[in-house]
Structure 1
Amino acid sequence: MKNLIRSLFIFALFTACNGEETVLISYENPELELEVPFGFPEFNNSVYTNKPTKYGVALGEKLFHDTRLSADNTISCASCHIQEHAFADRNGKGVGIESRIGLRNTPPVQNMAFMKVFNWDGNIRVLENQPLVPIITHFEMDSSILEVIGKLEEDPEYMELFNKAFNGEGITADGIFNSIAQFEYTLISANSKYDKVKRNEGETFTEAEALGYQVFQDKCVSCHSTELFTDLSFRNIGFPLNPDDEEAGRSRVTGLAEDFMRFRVPSLRNIAHTAPYGSFGQFETLRAVLDYLSNGVLEADNLDPILKENNNRIPLSEAEKDQLIAFMHTLSDSEFIGK
């Protein structure tokens, strides 16, 4: 992508002693160059219709860390999406204002530019539609977009940044949503040990990591495929059920019984830093996940065929579990998580 510079113009009218005159104000807001990493799929369509720009990304990052998006000014996006945890957190379920507990585990924010669906149940297909959800949800920020705009309008720095980012349009709901999405599009994780091995940059797997990669290819890659380490499909893999009677998995979106307790396959990138695991943090450790899959999962009519065909389990020896964990640790991107 070429680094294009857009000149954005607005007209301001000033009254002088000799009458009104028009002054032309020009904003330069260069697009940022995002590169598709080695082996990754192409960007999703929204990256091209809402191209990250210098001021758009700066505005989005500022909003991402601003607690004024919440009703009581205590919770920001970054409160739950913490960089050292691959922009997830360490809670089984998300925690919002006044310590309100949500329905599900906070998903990491990484490689959003390549995803086709978002959230555990895929209820969001365009990232620009996501920021409103936590702002208005009772157990997250419990605010409204009008309330947020009112707070931001009291800050001259925001007015200037919105004008630079969005053609002098001032502070708008679309500006909030689009800029946060632009910032999240830049959160690309593709520089782990695994990536360096694949790019032949002098790194090599240890024996345990190499054996783990083979186990992964044999027993995991059907779901955790592509360089995103997810095929973005929705599957019921028989994990322990969320006791909250509001939970129904993907069927909350589709209304279909066949989608009951199906969830989007999560990416394994930076998996060593995103515990606990599962849609509501059922498992504290990677070892606990592998033990459960190996011992046998819950029966269900719509249990994934891969499990049904193997007596509801993915059989793993103790050595294979150790090797898989060793491999999954190679998916950690220390630059991305800031360590």
Structure 2
Amino acid sequence: MQKITVLSLLLFLLFACTRDEPLGPEPVDNPELALHIPSDFPPLNPAFDENRPTKFGVQLGERLFHEKKFSGNNTISCASCHQQEKAFADDNAQAVGILGRKGLRNVPSIQNMAFMRFYNWDGHMLSLEKQAIVPIVTHEELNSSILEIIGKLQDDPAYPTLFSKAFGSPAITADRIYRSLAQYEYSLISANSRYDQVMANGGVTFTDMESRGYALFKLKCASCHSTSLFTDQTFRNVGFPRNPNAEEVGRARVTGLDEDWMRFRVPSLRNVAYTAPYGSFGQFKTLRDVLDYFDNGVLPADNLDPILQANGNSIPMTEQEKDDILAFLNTLSDPEFIKGKD
């Protein structure tokens, strides 16, 4: 009888001590974001499935993308260089970072990142979750550190709630910062240009000039700018004028191979009309300048792309052909993609 009484007392004390304790924060409904993924796009980057965009993950990532606390002196953010109205590029020949410091290369556009296998001009990052650390620590870009950024975000009373909604607890960590930024960038899908509307057979058609340009593009350009992303995601030396900075060796900076000297990732041509200037360090002010350069002849090199070598180091074009190709390239513009929030 005494044993039963003791057991009852222990159970009473256990429930009495726990029933009024808080149960923790209410779980937040954070659904996976429904993205429009075109059926003809290349496969998703493998990292995507490990970090699928969610409603609040993307919202947090977008806020962090525009957060000036990411820079060492709180003056610029990722969005300072990656401007939506310019297809998340800018109009500088080379990136301009903290204190007006000039970077080594042109700012690449951020679009359709979920389908890319490599990031940055030399492809030294294979996932967006790891790419963000590069601009954070680079002297000519944000010139900060992830620990410094975490400290600043912890001092901002808004962020613990935002991190809780995105990740289930208020902890602000490097991994969560990288993951939310990547989720936002994964959500930046551009697939609603006039070209896409024509391909969808929805009643939209090319003009005669655009049709001629498309035929010429497939003949003269599509060897490199293939797939629905308008890049084959390879690295090529196409004989562009060389960056005078001795640190620039292109893809060889990553691989250490002579064969990769001055090879750069073939850029996507989607929204190309918005992203001037062109080239790895903004060598060309206009798309016409690029076509003129290919027509007149490129710089020779032992590892010059075989397609150019086989064609006398050039891509010959008449002035009318250039006009037609430019007309086609303008159909790759996606006005909805570059439209900022009202």
- Give me the TM-score of the superposition, normalised by structure 1: 0.93
Q: Give the letter aligned to residue 110 of structure 1.
A: Q
Per-residue CA shift, 1:312-332, capped at 9, x if unaligned?
001111111000000000000
Counterpart of 2:253 in structure 1 is: 252
For 1:149, the equivalent position in structure 2 comes to 150
Whose strand proportion is higher, 1 or 2? 1
State the distance in 2 between where 1:175 and 1:169 align: 10
Report what 1:268 is aligned to: 269
Structure 1: gaps of 5 or more residues: 1-16
Once the two structures are aligned, what percentage of the paired residues are identical? 62
**1:90-135 CA distance string (max 9 Å, x none):** 0000000000000000000000010000110001101100111111
Structure with the greater alpha carbon radius of gyration? 2
Please list the CA deviations of residues 116-162 of structure 1 after superposition, one character each: whole Å capped at 9, or x if unmatched. 00110001101100111111100000001010000000112111111
2:200 corresponds to: 199
CA distance in 2, matches of 1:59, 1:82: 18
Q: Match for residue 55 of structure 1?
A: 56
- Runs of 4 or more, structure 1, over 6 Å off, are 17-20
Aligned twin of 2:21: 21
Give the Cα–Cα distance (whole angstroms) in 1 for the partners of residues 214 and 225 of structure 2: 12
CA distance in 1, matches of 2:321, 2:142: 42
Distance, in Å, in 2 between the alignment partners of 1:279 and 1:138 is 19
Aligned AA for 1:140?
E
C-alpha contact (below 8 Å) 1:95/1:139 kept by paired residues: yes
The answer on whether the counterparts of 1:36 and 1:42 sit within 8 Å (CA) in structure 2 is no
- Matches of 2:168 and 2:67, distance apart in 1: 23
Equivalent residues of 2:31, 2:54 under 8 A apart: yes
- SS, match of residue 21 in structure 2: strand
- CA offset digits 1:271-295 (Å, max 9, x no partner): 0000000000000000000000010
Q: Contact 1:102–1:139 (CA<8 Å) still a contact in 2? A: yes
Aligned to 2:338: 337
Q: What is residue 298 of structure 2 aligned with on the other side?
A: 297
Which residue number corresponds to residue 104 of structure 1?
Answer: 105
- Secondary structure of the 1:293 match is helix
Q: Contact 2:249–2:262 at 8 Å: present in 1 too?
A: yes
Q: State whether residues 162 and 171 of structure 1, in contact with CA within 8 Å, keep that contact through their aligned partners in structure 2.
A: yes
Greater shift in the superposed pair: 328-337 or 42-51:
42-51
Query: 1:1-339 residue pairs with structure 2 within 5 A?
Result: 21-25=21-25, 26-168=27-169, 170-338=171-339
- 1:177-202 Cα shifts (integer Å, max 9, x gaps): 00000000000000000000000122
CA distance in 2, matches of 1:71, 1:106: 20
- The answer to whether the 8 A contact 1:109-1:187 is kept is yes
Q: d(CA) in 2 for partners of 1:301 and 1:64? A: 41
**Aligned AA for 2:44?**
F
Q: Deviations over 1:189-231 (max 9, x none)?
A: 0000000000012211000000000000101110000000000
Whether contact under 8 Å (2:45, 2:127) holds in the other structure is: no
Q: For the residues of structure 1 that align with 2:224 and 2:311, how far apart are their CA atoms?
A: 15
Deviates more, 1:181-190 or 1:42-51: 42-51
Q: For 1:287 and 1:79, locate their aligned partners in 2 and report how far apart those are by CA, in whole Å.
A: 27
Cα RMSD over matched residues?
1.3
Q: What is the CA–CA distance in structure 1 between the aligned matches of 2:271 and 2:90, rounded to whole Å?
A: 12
Question: In 2, Cα distance between the equivalents of 1:77 and 1:141?
Answer: 8
Q: Which amino acid in 1 is paired with 2:21?
A: E
1:148 & 1:274 partners in 2: Cα distance? 29
- Which segment is superposed worse, 90-99 or 37-46? 37-46
Alpha-carbon separation, structure 2, partners of 1:279 and 1:262: 10
Aligned length: 323
Q: Is the 8 A contact 1:235 1:304 kept in 2?
A: yes
CA distance in 1, matches of 2:70, 2:324: 43
Match of 1:4 in 2: none
CA distance in 1, matches of 2:203, 2:192: 13
Q: 1:249-269: CA deviations, max 9, x gaps?
A: 000000001100000000000
Letter paired with 2:315 = I
Contact persistence 1:38–1:199 (CA under 8 A): no
Distance in 2 of aligned mates of 1:22 and 1:325 = 64
